[in-house]
């Protein structure tokens, strides 16, 4: 326990391969090593504090070291840390399944647990395909998916196949199943060349046509409701999601709502689907589910889907899929404590969202800010070399990384998506810290 900071830095460099991290650059810089945290702050081993401006990668809800969450884990630890969900129940997982069904859009009555966002999506994809083979009206030809350009659904191969091939996935293309790709509702760089004033939501009209055309082979449409996260916080126009739901219903295609990033209050409501009164056939949840404490995910679905998997074992209708730590009791216990705290946090969100909007409107005046997209406590700030022509910076300028590095020096931890600066503070952040986060980021962008 008494390793020196220098030793830890060396071992980090010598042995640890970080996710989504260009390791050569990482190894050239002095690493920041987090030792502890409290509230909205992370503290490194030199005692330097960083405001957690991206909720530890979009998952933290109430801050760090929250008494109610800490003690939920400690109390569960006195009972059992883990026991399998394969053919066996456990108390927190059962209680959590019931709570999720109560909170979720109507019709989602069955909960399948897994460990992270990618596996929550993966389970939905497999369930959808198997459903069409076993449904009361079997249509086994329906085994393809339609997803959007810019989509991100996680890094396991099925999730990668529905994600945008351009995003991170070039090396794996040969391994992926074919996915039908619809345009993305990227209003700032509209794929149809329209301006907001002339927009008739052509992008969703095109999606509707594609769903109609491919209905016989489509198992499901996969979307990130309201906001495409990793694409750069792309905010869909109002009514977009509702129209996706309408066309999928008309064409007998299932709808998978990946709310891994936007669930649990992030957009201002418990779930993003609720803002357009959409009831998907699958709801994928992870990130905020445990308040950002432990890896746990859930795939919710309907009785209609679930019942297609019933029958005598020899009929072969069982969903043979699962992970060792599925429904982990520690994770489920802290998720329950998170859900207990959420209603109060949601009540206080509107004032924070308004204040956030005011800050963002000021940032929009800065010379290199091309577009700002906000939804609840999510913001994507797209930086451009030239505002009037929307000309992007050269990739080699790494402006997103540079801005985030400046912020780090000022004690604010943020991570970009290319040239989009992401702000996604814990929902429990207070107004004073929200001001500090936005002022710092404003100043760092102004330095460009």
Closest residue to bound ligand PLP by CB: 117
Q: 121 vs 421, which CB is nearer to ligand PLP? A: 121
Name residues whose C-beta falls within 8 Å of residue 290's C-beta, 6 or more positions apart in sequence: 59, 296, 331, 334, 335, 338
56-60-64-68 Cα dihedral, nearest 10 degrees:
-160
CB of 295 to ligand PLP, least distance (A): 7
Exposed/middle/buried for 95, CB within 10 Å: 0-12, 13-18, 19+?
A: middle
Contact status, residue 115 vs residue 325, Cβ threshold 8 Å: yes
Q: What is each CA distance from 431 to 352, 354, 356, in whole angstroms?
A: 6, 10, 9
Q: Judged by CB, which is closer to ligand PLP: 52, or 224?
A: 224
Q: Reduce the DSSP state of residue 211 to 3 states and report it.
A: helix
Q: Which residue, 116 or 371, is less far from ligand PLP as judged by CB?
A: 116
Smallest gap, in angstroms, from Cβ of residue 126 to ligand PLP? Answer: 15
Query: 230 or 244, CB closer to ligand PLP?
Result: 230
Q: How far is the CB of 431 from ligand PLP (least distance, A)?
A: 26
Contact 237, 200 (CB under 8 A): no
Residue number with CB closer to ligand PLP (261 or 441): 261
In 84-143, where do the E strands start and end?
108-114
| Under 8 Å between Cβ of 297 and 320 | no
What's the CA gap between 118 and 63, in Å, rounded? Answer: 24
CB of 178 to ligand PLP, least distance (A): 20
Q: Which is nearer to ligand PLP, 115 or 363 (CB)?
A: 115
Query: Quick one: angle between helices 431-446 and 399-409, nearest 10?
Result: 130
Provide the binding-site residues for ligand PLP, judged by CB under 6 A.
Answer: 116-118, 121, 152-154, 224, 229-230, 258, 260-261, 286
The residue among 153 and 359 lying less far from ligand PLP, judged by its C-beta, is 153
Minimum distance, C-beta of residue 261 to ligand PLP, in the bound complex (Å)? 3
Burial class of residue 226, CB neighbours in 10 A (0-12, 13-18, 19+): buried
For ligand PLP, which is the closer residue by CB, 235 or 436?
235
- Element (H or E) spanning 38, and its range? strand 34-38
Residue number with CB closer to ligand PLP (285 or 412):
285
Give the number of residues written for the chain: 448
As measured in angstroms, the least distance from the Cβ of 76 to ligand PLP is: 21
CB of 342 to ligand PLP, least distance (A): 19
> How much helix, strand and coil, in percent to the nearest 5, is found in the chain?
40, 20, 40
Task: Please state the closest distance from residue 168 (CB atom) to ligand PLP, in A.
Answer: 12
Q: Report, in Å, the least distance between residue 396 CB and ligand PLP.
A: 27
């Amino acid at each position: 326990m008494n390793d020196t900071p220098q030793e830890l830095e060396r071992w980090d460099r010598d042995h640890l391969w970080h996710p989504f991290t260009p390791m050569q650059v990482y190894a050239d810089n002095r690493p920041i090593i987090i030792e502890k945290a409290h509230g909205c702050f992370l503290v490194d081993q030199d005692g330097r504090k960083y405001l957690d401006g991206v909720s530890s990668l979009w998952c933290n809800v109430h801050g760090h070291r929250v008494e109610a969450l800490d003690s939920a884990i400690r109390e569960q630890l006195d009972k059992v840390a883990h026991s399998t969900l394969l053919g066996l129940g456990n108390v927190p997982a059962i209680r959590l399944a019931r709570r999720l069904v109560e909170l979720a859009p109507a019709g989602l009555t069955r909960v399948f647990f897994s460990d992270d966002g990618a596996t929550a999506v993966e389970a939905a994809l497999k369930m959808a395909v198997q459903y069409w083979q076993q449904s009361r009206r079997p249509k086994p030809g329906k085994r393809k998916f339609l997803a959007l350009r810019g989509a991100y659904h996680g890094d396991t191969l099925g999730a990668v196949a529905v994600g945008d091939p351009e995003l991170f996935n070039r090396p794996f293309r040969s391994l992926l199943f074919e996915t039908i790709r619809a345009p993305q509702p990227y209003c700032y760089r509209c794929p149809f060349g329209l301006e907001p004033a002339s927009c008739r939501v052509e992008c969703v009209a095109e999606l509707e046509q594609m769903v109609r055309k491919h209905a016989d082979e489509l198992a499901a449409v996969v979307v990130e409701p309201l906001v495409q996260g990793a694409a750069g916080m792309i905010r869909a126009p109002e009514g977009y999601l509702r129209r996706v739901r309408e066309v999928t219903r008309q064409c007998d295609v299932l709808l998978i709502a990946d709310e891994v990033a936007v669930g649990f209050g992030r957009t201002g409501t418990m779930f993003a689907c609720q803002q357009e009164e959409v009831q998907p056939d699958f709801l994928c949840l992870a990130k905020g589910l445990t308040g950002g404490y432990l890896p746990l995910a859930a795939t919710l679905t309907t009785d209609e889907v679930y019942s297609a998997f019933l029958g005598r074992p020899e009929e072969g209708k069982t969903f043979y899929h699962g992970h060792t730590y599925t429904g982990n009791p520690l994770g489920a216990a802290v998720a329950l404590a998170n859900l207990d705290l959420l209603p109060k946090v949601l009540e206080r969100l509107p004032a924070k969202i308004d204040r956030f909007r005011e800050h963002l409107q000021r940032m929009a005046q800065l010379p290199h800010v091309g577009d700002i997209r906000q939804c609840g406590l999510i913001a994507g700030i797209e930086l451009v070399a030239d505002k009037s022509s929307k000309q992007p910076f050269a990739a080699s300028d790494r402006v997103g990384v540079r801005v985030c590095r400046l912020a780090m020096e000022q004690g604010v931890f943020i991570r970009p998506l290319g040239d989009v600066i992401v702000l996604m503070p814990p929902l429990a952040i207070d107004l004073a810290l929200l001001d500090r986060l936005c002022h710092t980021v404003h100043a760092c962008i102004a330095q460009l």
